[in-house]
Amino acid sequence: MAAAMSGSSRRHWYLLNLSLVAACIFSAVSVVDTSHQCRLMYARLQNVQSAQWDMQEQWGRLLLEQSTWAAHHRVEQLARKELGMRLPLVTELQIVLP
Total H helices, total E strands in the chain: 2, 0
31 vs 4 pLDDT, higher one:
31
**pLDDT confidence of residue 7:** 75
**pLDDT confidence of residue 6:** 76
3-state SS track over 11-30 = HHHHHHHHHHHHHHHHHHHH
Length of the chain: 98
Average pLDDT score over residue span 37-59: 98
Average pLDDT score over residue span 33-52: 98
Report pLDDT digits (tens) over 74-83.
Answer: 999 999 999 9
For residue 36, pLDDT beyond 70: yes
